[in-house]
Amino acid sequence: RSMRATHSLPPTLNSVTEHDLAHFAKILPPSSIISTFPPSSVSSEELEQYNNDWMGKYRGTSTTVLKPKTTEQVSEIVKWCNERRIGIVPQGGNTGLVGGSVPLRDELILSLSNMSKVRSFDPVSGILVADAGCILQSLTDYVAPYNHIMPIDLGAKGSCQIGGNVATNAGGLRLLRYGSLHGTVLGLEVVLPDGTILDQLTTLRKDNTGYDLKQLFIGAEGTLGVITGVSILTPPAPQASNNVILALPSFKNVLPLYEIVKRQLSEILSAFEFIDRTSYDLAVKHGQGRALSDEDVQGAECFVLVETSGGRREHDEEKLADLLEFLLEAEEPLINTGVLSQSPAQFSSLWALREGVTEAVAKEGKPYKYDISVPLSSFQDVVDGTREHLRSKGLLGDHAVKYVVGYGHVGDGNLHLNVVANSYTPEIQNALEPYIYEVVASHRGSVSAEHGIGAMKTHALHYSKSDVSIAWMKKIKEIFDPRGIMNPGKVLE
Ligand code: FAD
Ligand code: MLT
Ligand code: ZN
């Protein structure tokens, strides 16, 4: 069962009509228009992939998808929609996890997937300028021969687009090392809601000339404009990367372990990721990475994946080996064991155990995904507390919720709390909310660490943002988008 958003769209918005299609047909070639209206006249089934989100949780009823190739085409489409008061949902790879990338009703879907050209790359500075629709993996492949990497990496890399990453301010697996997109994005080209092209596609590292407008679009989830181009700083590729998976007897060892790992690995530490035992078991069950031996996982309550990236292999390997020795030979060891990757294939396989949890929980059932920032010391209590809460409501078990799992970016204080159910039901939804948001607020945490607000959490924004902050966010939205056409009903109620 898919969720229909409970909140409504501004009543002033209009649906796309045949008349609008005739206009779009003057801007775009037939191959860039998918619509139930003539001259395209496809069946509504052909629009399903655009109307449904990655989880199968949110579903819109758009009649029309437009796939412009150029910024000018985007500008003309947006200008028309603004005049006609037609809601627009910018869509990248449609991998978002908060229902932001699909319409609430029948808004027009503006897909960036045809805007997929690299505009320039400077191998000396590492600055890459690309169309917003470039797929993250393709950009990684593009800069690899120049010995550079993208500053962001995430499990959805094969489908998500750089514009979508910027629009959601995606965090991912490298944030610990390379920081957030607020730092690595140097410039943006954005089509504003009235069709104006805002060209801030600078390739300067330093530019203190007044307000930094681009920051507003990073994490705005398409509510302030359509990102069409991105200028981003790519770091040099590390000469050596290693990883090790550590099996821990108890969650309470994670924090002291993190302190030791940071101290001993210092500048070569590039990831410190956490999966609890149930996440691990589900990843293995659904074929994500190769299972560790029975001996290695025996008595493990959770696992930590540590990655190093450095300049000299022997140096890094020595540091990692010293760390493992130190951990295993301690009087009261924090870990049961550590499995060090010995080959590129094993390196990928260890990563797959962590990155593959998202796919595994989606294969196992219908995941309710909570992406929260809470103090690291509370991660396990939040997961256990949620499980007990569901049990007390009679909702734990094969008939309702199968698993409550925790995984995430320990180094960033970001816990992914997933409740894996048989189906999405109002009973489970009501048991989870506001319960989880109140727990987050009691820790002064964030209801969205990295996935965004989308349609899922508009009603929960106030748990993490003050009334004054929300009022100013609304004022900013009103200035950019007075007609409320850009991704209506998302982020702000
Ligand atoms: P979409 O899903 O298409 O869109 C997301 C939002 O951005 C929507 O609100 C949309 O309207 C807007 N948008 C998209 N493109 C544009 C544009 N050009 N201009 C303006 N607005 C736009 N997220 C993390 O932060 N960290 C992770 O580690 C992570 N891992 C993931 C792993 C998997 C397997 C999956 C499925 C998702 C994961 N995500 C993660 C979620 C994450 O938000 C997305 O994967 C990604 O950043 C979204 O990119 P996209 O191109 O798919 O955008
Ligand atoms: C992750 O860290 O794996 C992603 O944010 C996706 C998810 O939360 O499942
Ligand atoms: Zn994540």
Tell me the domain boundaries of the chain.
Answer: 118-233, 240-357, 365-450
**Are 139 and 130 contacting, i.e. CB atoms less than 8 angstroms apart?**
yes
Query: Residue of the nearest CA to atom 2 in ligand 2?
Result: 408
Count CB neighbours of 329 within 10 A. 8
pLDDT in tens, 352-398: 999 999 999 999 999 999 999 999 999 999 999 999 999 999 999 99
Output the average pLDDT for the chain. 96
At the topology level, CATH places domain 118-233 in: 3.30.465
Is 240-357 assigned to CATH 3.40.50.80? no
User: How far apart, in whole angstroms, are the C-alpha atoms of residue 471 and residue 373?
Assistant: 23
Give buried/exposed letters for 291-309 (b at 16+ CB in 10 A, else e). Answer: bbeeebbeebbbbbbbbbb
**pLDDT for residue 1:** 39
Q: Do domains 240-357 and 365-450 have the same CATH topology?
A: yes
In a 13 Å sphere around the CA of 392, the CA atoms on its Cβ side amount to 9
Pocket of ligand 1 (CB under 6 A): 54, 89-97, 100-101, 112, 132, 154-156, 160-161, 163-165, 167-168, 170-173, 221-222, 226-227, 358-359, 450-451, 454, 487, 490
- The average pLDDT across 120-126 equals 97
Q: Do strands 240-248 and 366-373 pair parallel, antiparallel, or not at all (unpaired)?
A: unpaired
Select from 77, 88, 89, 160 the residue to mutate for testing ligand 1; criterion: most ligand atoms less than 8 Å from CB: 160
Q: 435-442 vs 379-392: helix axis angle to the nearest 10?
A: 150
Q: Which two tokens stand for residue 127?
A: 């600055």
Specify burial of residue 325 (Cβ count, 10 A radius: 0-12, 13-18, 19+). Answer: exposed
5 pLDDT more than 60: no
**Are 231 and 127 contacting, i.e. CB atoms less than 8 angstroms apart?**
yes
**pLDDT for residue 4:** 46
30 pLDDT more than 70: yes
Query: Residue of the nearest CA to atom 9 in ligand 2?
Result: 358
User: How far apart, in whole angstroms, are the C-alpha atoms of residue 340 and residue 200?
Assistant: 44
352 beta partners:
none
Q: Is 286 helix (H, G, I), strand (E, B) or coil?
A: coil
What's 313's DSSP letter? H
Query: Residue of the nearest CA to atom 5 in ligand 2?
Result: 172
pLDDT in tens, 152-180: 999 999 999 999 999 999 999 999 999 99
pTM: 0.97
Q: Which two tokens stand for residue 14?
A: 């209009």
Q: How far apart are the first and last CA of the chain?
A: 24
Residues contacting residue 426 through CB under 8 Å, at least 6 positions apart = none
- Contact 155 CB / ligand 2 (< 6 Å): yes
**Are 452 and 219 contacting, i.e. CB atoms less than 8 angstroms apart?**
yes
- Contact 412 CB / ligand 2 (< 6 Å): no
Classify domain 365-450 by CATH number. Answer: 3.30.70.2740
Q: What percent of the chain shows pLDDT beyond 70?
A: 98
pLDDT in tens, 237-261: 999 999 999 999 999 999 999 999 9
